[in-house]
Amino acid sequence: MALTREQMAQRVAREMQDGFYVNLGIGIPTLVANFIPEGMEVMLQSENGLLGMGEFPTEETVDADMINAGKQTVTAVKGASIFSSAESFAMIRGGHVDLTVLGAFEVDVNGNIASWMIPNKLVKGMGGAMDLVAGADNIIVTMTHASKSGESKLLTECALPLTGKGCIKKVLTDLAWLEIEEGAFILKERAPGVSIEEIQEKTQGKLIVPDHVPEMVFA
Amino acid sequence: MAGFDKVVTSYADAMAGLEDGMTVLAGGFGLCGIPENLIQEIKRRQTRDLTIVSNNCGVDGFGLGVLLEDKQVRKMISSYVGENALFEKQLLQGELEVELTPQGTLAEKMRAGGAGIPAFFTATGVGTPVGEGKETRIFNGREYLMEEAITGDFAIVKGWKADRYGNVIYRHTAQNFNPLAATAGKITVVEVEEIVEVDELDPAQIHTPGIYVDRIIQGSFEKRIEKRTVRSTD
């Protein structure tokens, strides 16, 4: 069975470490915040200028001056800080954020990522994604393994315009956990009940399958 | 006005000198921390052929979106646009030009512009459409793009409180691009919720020192929320 969005978030959350500063993109990455292990302290960075993003406010505490990078109203946790956009991207570009999780349309065996532009469709912009992928050392891309029509999103070479070049090393799809090394995807884990053959079939780029590929376990 | 007193009392005075073809830097992220009354004043003046530098372009009928209604904007320099139907229409009809710029690069372009740094190198955008035609250099084995600073004829900024000398503080995440825009305008206009007397603000807590600010005006704000998201409290 392919992973649900919640299971994907749960799997990514296992990469968290106590004391991490983390930037979560829109979509599945946002859900990761719900699965941070009990007792672990993680500070969420929102690139509009908030380090220490908290939960959504109540009707009573909604504040137009308090939003996240997705423009949703939010709160700040104890110990949070707020700053300008230049300061925020200094943190990101300067490599101070410990983990970045974001979605993509495609990734390839050379760690290239395409996530912002589909030619002949209206382009809304890259927002902070190019800065995030260029600045972070530890990035996890979350996406479905193949499109609805079955076309692989794990490629020999990205076909869409890039968001960043050679910057992705870890990918979680609904079928597998993969790492990118020396021009290939290494299959590290598979979703429960998903066969290696199915993953091979849906991976267009070079895939290395180790002797033992454990299934992910979810409580 | 006398000495360091930057206070003006009408929006017409606040935007005096704005002319067709000028470049205007605007603070704000989405609809958060936008100089909503200064934008309305630009609409009232019907200034045209403007280049607007702002992370976003408002929504239909609010924020910078209102400047599209009478086609006052020639070019937008932004990281993310298209939350408004009118923007999309004018873009597709070729009435509006857009220069998409990565958000961090956009912030740094303004910061550099205000700090007298004409260009800087960043890894952001290397190997992407953003890097096309730009000078690159290798530092410590990694490729970087040269990005040029941005300055504006005007900067329009939304603050929370300011004193009469133009020292400004921002409230929460309404800070965003505002302090950067404030440094990079030839004429920087700040509208705030409250003007206080000199000496009321703690000097160590000032976000934008008055040296960057030319005009201060007190306004009232709708503060529209783009995506009201709440948790249930049952």
Alpha-carbon distance A104 to A172, whole Å?
11
Q: Which domain holds residue B104?
A: 11-120+134-218
Examine the residue annotation and report whether A181 is marked as an active-site residue of this protein: no
The pLDDT, as a whole number, for residue A122 is 79
CA closest to A115 among chain B residues: B128
In a domain, A145, yes or no: yes
Residues B158 and B35 sit within 8 Å (Cβ to Cβ): yes
The pLDDT, as a whole number, for residue B172 is 98
In a domain, A213, yes or no: no
Closest by Cβ to A127, choosing from B80, B110, B230? B80
| Inter-chain residue contact A64 with B32, CB threshold 8 Å | yes
**Residue B195, beta-bridge partner list:** B162
CATH number at residue B64: 3.40.1080.10
| Inter-chain residue contact B123 with A93, CB threshold 8 Å | yes
What value of ipTM does the predicted structure carry?
0.96
Chain A residues within 8 A of B179 when measuring between CB atoms: 84, 86
Pick the residue of B128, B172, B208 with the most A CBs within 10 A to test the interface with A by mutation: B128
CA closest to A67 among chain B residues: B173
Structural domains in chain B (count): 1
Which contacts of A118-124 are long-range, i.e. CB under 8 A and separated by 24 or more positions? A118/A160, A119/A160, A119/A161, A122/B82, A122/B88, A122/B91, A122/B92, A123/B82, A123/B100, A124/B80, A124/B81, A124/B82, A124/B83
| Inter-chain residue contact A134 with B100, CB threshold 8 Å | no
Q: Which of A47, A59, A106, A215 is catalytic?
A: A47
Alpha-carbon distance B75 to B96, whole Å?
6
CATH number at residue A127: 3.40.1080.10
In a domain, B164, yes or no: yes
Which ranges of chain B have pLDDT less than 50? 1
The pLDDT, as a whole number, for residue B234 is 63
In a domain, B126, yes or no: no
Q: Which domain holds residue A100?
A: 5-208
Calculate how close chain B gets to A50, using CA atoms only, in Å.
Answer: 7
| Inter-chain residue contact A134 with B81, CB threshold 8 Å | no
Structural domains in chain A (count): 1
In a domain, B3, yes or no: no
- Written as tens digits, the pLDDT of chain A (219 aa) is 899 999 999 999 999 999 999 999 988 998 999 999 989 999 999 999 999 999 999 999 999 999 999 999 999 999 999 999 999 999 999 999 999 999 999 999 999 999 999 988 878 999 999 999 999 999 999 999 999 999 999 999 999 999 999 999 999 999 999 999 999 999 999 999 999 999 999 999 999 999 999 999 998
In a domain, A215, yes or no: no
